[in-house]
Amino acid sequence: MSVVEAKPKLKRSDLIWTLIGLSAVVLSGFLLYRELRNISLDEIKGSIEAISHMNWLLAAAATLGAYWALAWYDRIAVAHLGKRIPWRFITLCSFTTYALAHNIGASVFSGAVVRYRAYRSKGLTPQEIGILIVFCSFTFALGTLLASGCVLIAQPDLIHRVADVTPLVSVVIGSVLLCLVGLYVLGSWRQFKPWTLGKLHVEYPRLPIVSRQLLAGPLELLCAAAIIYFALPAENHPGYLVVLGVFLASFSLALLSHAPGGLGVLEVTFLAALPEIPAADVLAALIVFRVFYLLLPFALSLLVVLGFEWTQWKRKREESLDLPS
- CA–CA dist 277, 274 (Å, integer): 6
Query: Given this model, what pLDDT does residue 107 score?
Result: 43
Q: Taking residues 159-169, what's their average pLDDT?
A: 85
Domain annotation covers residue 42: no
What is the sign of the dihedral through the CA atoms of 132, 136, 137 and 138?
A: positive
Domain span at 167: 50-308
Query: Could you tell me which residues are beta bridge partners of residue 3?
Result: 200
Do the domain assignments include residue 249? yes
Q: Compute φ and ψ for 195, nearest 5 degrees.
A: -125, 155
pLDDT average, residue stretch 202-225: 92
| Cβ proximity of 181 and 146 under 8 Å | yes
Q: State mean pLDDT over 22-38.
A: 55
Residue 100 domain-assigned (yes or no): yes
pLDDT 10s digits, 54-83: 999 999 999 999 999 999 999 999 999 999
- Closest to 242 measured CA to CA, from 157, 165, 138, 184: 157
Q: Is the dihedral of CA 137, 138, 139, 142 positive or negative?
A: positive
Are the C-beta atoms of 205 and 188 separated by less than 8 Å?
Answer: yes
For residue 39, being part of any structural domain is answered with no
Give residue 197's pLDDT.
58
In a domain, 322, yes or no: no
Give the chain's domain count: 1
**Residues 248-289: tens digit of each pLDDT:** 988 887 776 666 656 667 888 898 889 999 989 999 999 999
**Residue 196 within a domain:** yes
Pick the closest to residue 267 from 42, 41, 31 (CA basis): 31
How many other CB atoms are there within 10 angstroms of residue 32's CB atom? 19
> Under DSSP, is residue 94 helix (H, G, I), strand (E, B) or coil?
helix
The total number of residues shown for the chain amounts to 325
Question: The dihedral of CA 151, 277, 295, 59: what is its sign?
Answer: negative
| Domain membership flag for residue 69 | yes
Q: Mean per-residue pLDDT for 180-207?
A: 80
pLDDT band at 217; cut points 50, 70, 90: very high
- The burial of 260, by beta-carbon neighbours within 10 Å (0-12 exposed, 13-18 middle, 19 or more buried), is given as buried
Average pLDDT over all residues of the chain: 82
- 7 lies in a domain? no
Residue 38 or 155, more confident = 155
